[in-house]
Structure 1
Amino acid sequence: MTTPLTSPIRTCLWMEKDGEAAATFYTSLIPGSAIQDSHGFRGGDVRALVVNFHLGGVPYMILNGGPHFTLSPAASISVLTEDQAETDRLWDALIANGGQESQCGWLVDPWGLSWQITPRAVMDMTFSDDPEASERARQAMYTMTRLDIATMRTAFENAG
């Protein structure tokens, strides 16, 4: 059986620097996450060049590759949360210390990595079999940065 530690496939996140700090932070946020290993530069430099880790069982690696490339919202880590408390906990942690809020549950953390923090209830509402209720929920979502389940539920349930 393939595990996060043995999977031959993982997403590589290119960061300018501080990838080990980012991986340590990320694994502290998501239950069931861990750093697998890190590998340093050659020549006595103690910084990590590559950090292998997993978030909730999904494998990633960070490459401290310098300023040649930057992260973009075109790729993001998407987390489905169970409730508003988990949504708020992750949101607050990821925007602290220089992160930036964006629209519709998206944010950028202090290292420049984009995240989507989405409550499962939001997915249920926006993909409901009731297209009018789903549209009301989506319209409410479009006004938000951090997703608010109660506000979206009110829009979903009230035809008007």
Structure 2
Amino acid sequence: MSGNGFTTCLWFDGDAEAAAEYYVSVFKDGRLGRIARYTEANPDVAGSVMTVEFEINGQRFVGLNGGPQFPFTEAISFMIDCADEPEADHYYDTLTKDGGQESACGWVKDRFGVSWQVIPPGVVDLVSDPDPERAARAMAAMMQMKKLDVAQMRRAADAS
């Protein structure tokens, strides 16, 4: 998994391999890469997973089992620009089950604590409408939602 661009490193507390396997099952075109293990020279248990490379939707990641020092926060999230409502439903529903959590405005936290923004088509156009009043009404509607409802946002934007 080498090449140009960036690789996102996600710091886990012992479950990097399980997380990588989970992500490649959730996202299309996912694949696992190399796994590096701790040796006697490293601070963790020799033979346990140190890093696991994986790729989802063309984005490269490395999961690092670094310990409990640095938990995930909402300060970093990954936006999923969805092609249609069924795709948005898939990601939203899948990422929130089995210990995941809903948040506000289309944000979810998966069972590993990583934050995602599930964005159905049309949302960005509504909240960045050239008419500031339409954009404000769409944004106000969105601020009341957990899972984003584009039809409801559109109705709010069109209300006068």
TM-score between both structures, scaled by the size of structure 2: 0.89
Superposition pairs for residues 15-54 of structure 1, below 5 Å? 15-43=12-40, 45-54=46-55
Runs of 5+ consecutive residues of structure 2 not aligned to the other structure: none
- Moved beyond 3 Å, runs of 4+: 43-47
Q: CA deviation at 1:99?
A: 0.8
Name the SS for the 1:27 alignment partner. Answer: helix
Name the SS for the 1:50 alignment partner. Answer: strand
Residues 7, 59 of structure 1: 8 Å contact kept: no
1:49-103 Cα deviation digits (max 9, x unpaired): 1011122111111101111211111111111112221111101111111111111
Distance 1:24 1:7, change over 3 A: farther
Q: How many residues align?
A: 156
Q: Distance in 1 between matches of 2:122 and 2:2?
A: 31
Residues 12, 65 of structure 2: 8 Å contact kept: yes
2:131 is matched with which residue? Answer: 130
Q: Distance in 2 between matches of 1:7 and 1:38?
A: 20
Superposition pairs for residues 84-95 of structure 1, below 5 Å? 84-95=85-96
What is the Cα-based RMSD across aligned positions, in Å? 1.7
Q: Distance in 2 between matches of 1:155 and 1:21?
A: 41
Q: Distance in 2 between matches of 1:88 and 1:46?
A: 39
Q: Distance in 1 between matches of 2:47 and 2:157?
A: 53
Q: Distance in 1 between matches of 2:95 and 2:39?
A: 32
Q: Distance in 1 between matches of 2:6 and 2:132?
A: 37
Distance 1:67 1:117, change over 3 A: same
Name the SS for the 2:36 alignment partner. Answer: strand
Q: Does 1:140 align with 2:137?
A: no
Q: Does 1:6 align with 2:3?
A: yes
Residues 5, 36 of structure 1: 8 Å contact kept: no
Runs of 5+ consecutive residues of structure 1 not aligned to the other structure: none
Q: CA deviation at 1:149?
A: 1.3
Q: Distance in 2 between matches of 1:117 and 1:30?
A: 13
Q: Distance in 1 between matches of 2:147 and 2:100?
A: 13
Name the SS for the 1:73 alignment partner. Answer: coil
Name the SS for the 1:74 alignment partner. Answer: coil
Distance 1:5 1:57, change over 3 A: farther
1:71 is matched with which residue? Answer: 72
Sequence identity percentage: 37
